[in-house]
């Protein structure tokens, strides 16, 4: 009996020790680089190369700040809310998709002021059923969008990219198509507070068949943020309303168009500027086939470098005031 009782006590003690060790075990370690796979991914995995996860959100949550998520094969990977500096990379394995419906966002960025977010090689597509938005940047340091397609979003505010930081921020979009959306292709609107500068750089961006192509909308609430934007080799075409628009209701909105095209846009014209602190400068660009070639309202400033092609518009192609070249 004594031996039996001793064994029972030893067994109970061992079980208690095992329970304590399990309770004290650390959470699954995060990785600097994680992987997602449509073919073999599982969100119960740790997101390593041989044990990839299934969704962007699971991989994001298991990735260190400043880390990367790599797409291994084509598929749909679900929406994601980004709260840290991170890159999501698809370099040619096929479509890495996010489907948007039910009024949701495809990708939301709610990061800190120093965080840089990069998205490359992604397809974000609206499928109706309540609409939604493509990429929404609410907070963070910077967003880079490269080699992406953002299409067919529906709903009341169905913008392809909505960039609305509270304070300074930087948006760079490269070699990307934003098309067939009920809202604007790219809509930049600083939040209701903050100060500093919002910089926007677009290169080889196609904004096709949206409400507006690009809109800079500045001056809500107590914001004192200045928008400085430049478009190089861009296209805004077939917009229901207008192609490129700089708008200010207080703080400055500055837009530069170089080697760009505004074609076959609707009632607000190929290019437009609105508000006393809004400026649009255009050089080496083509404005053609629009309901109105260009439009200036409420004291906005529109200037040309004198080297643009303005023809075939419904308003008779009036000349834009020219900046005197400095050499």
Q: Does domain 63-311 have CATH number 2.160.20.10?
A: yes
pLDDT of residue 223: 66
**pLDDT of 183 higher than 50:** yes
Percent of the chain scored above 90 by pLDDT?
83
**pLDDT of 2 higher than 80:** no
pTM greater than the 0.85 cutoff: yes
Q: Encoding tokens for residue 152?
A: 């067919």
Q: Would you place residue 166 in the very low, low, confident or very high pLDDT band (cuts 50, 70, 90)?
A: confident
Q: How far apart (Å, rounded) are the C-alpha atoms in residues 124 and 145?
A: 12
**pLDDT of 8 higher than 60:** no
Distance from chain centroid for Cα 247: 20
Q: Would you place residue 1 in the very low, low, confident or very high pLDDT band (cuts 50, 70, 90)?
A: very low
Q: How far apart (Å, rounded) are the C-alpha atoms in residues 269 and 316?
A: 13
Q: Specify burial of residue 2 (Cβ count, 10 A radius: 0-12, 13-18, 19+).
A: exposed
**pLDDT of 11 higher than 60:** no
pLDDT tens for 142-161 read: 999 999 999 999 998 999 99
Q: Would you place residue 326 in the very low, low, confident or very high pLDDT band (cuts 50, 70, 90)?
A: low
Each domain of the chain, given as residue ranges in start order, spans 63-311
**pLDDT of 140 higher than 60:** yes
Percent of the chain scored above 70 by pLDDT?
89
Q: How far apart (Å, rounded) are the C-alpha atoms in residues 216 and 296?
A: 14
**pLDDT of 231 higher than 90:** yes
pLDDT tens for 66-112 read: 999 999 999 999 999 999 999 999 999 999 999 999 999 999 999 99
pLDDT of residue 156: 86
pLDDT of residue 130: 93
Average pLDDT over residues 178-206: 92
């Amino acid at each position: 009996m004594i031996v039996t009782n001793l064994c029972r006590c030893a067994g109970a003690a061992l079980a208690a020790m095992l329970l304590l060790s399990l309770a004290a075990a650390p959470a699954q370690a995060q990785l600097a680089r994680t992987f997602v796979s449509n073919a073999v991914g599982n969100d119960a995995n740790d997101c390593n190369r041989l044990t990839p996860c299934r969704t962007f959100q699971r991989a994001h949550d298991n990735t260190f700040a400043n880390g990367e998520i790599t797409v291994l094969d084509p598929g749909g990977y679900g929406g994601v809310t980004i709260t840290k500096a991170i890159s999501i990379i698809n370099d040619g394995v096929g479509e890495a998709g996010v489907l948007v419906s039910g009024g949701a966002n495809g990708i939301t960025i709610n990061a800190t002021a120093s965080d840089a977010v990069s998205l490359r090689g992604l397809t974000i597509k609206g499928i109706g059923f309540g609409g939604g938005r493509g990429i929404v940047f609410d907070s963070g340091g910077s967003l880079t969008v490269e080699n992406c397609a953002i299409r067919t979003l529906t709903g009341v505010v169905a913008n392809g990219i909505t960039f609305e930081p509270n304070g300074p921020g930087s948006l760079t979009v490269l070699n990307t198509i934003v098309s067939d959306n009920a809202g604007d292709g790219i809509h930049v609107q600083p939040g209701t507070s903050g100060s500093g500068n919002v910089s926007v750089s677009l290169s080889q961006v196609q904004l096709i068949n949206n409400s507006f192509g690009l809109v800079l909308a500045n001056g809500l609430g107590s914001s004192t943020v200045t928008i400085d934007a430049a478009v190089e080799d861009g296209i805004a075409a077939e917009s229901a309303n207008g192609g490129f628009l700089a708008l200010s209701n207080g703080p400055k909105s500055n837009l530069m168009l170089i080697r760009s095209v505004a074609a076959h846009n609707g009632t607000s014209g190929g290019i437009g500027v609105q508000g006393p602190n809004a400026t649009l400068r255009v050089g080496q660009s083509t404005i053609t086939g629009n309901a109105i070639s260009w439009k200036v309202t409420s004291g906005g400033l529109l200037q040309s470098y004198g080297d643009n092609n303005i023809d075939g518009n419904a308003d008779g192609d009036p000349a834009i005031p020219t900046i005197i070249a400095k050499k």
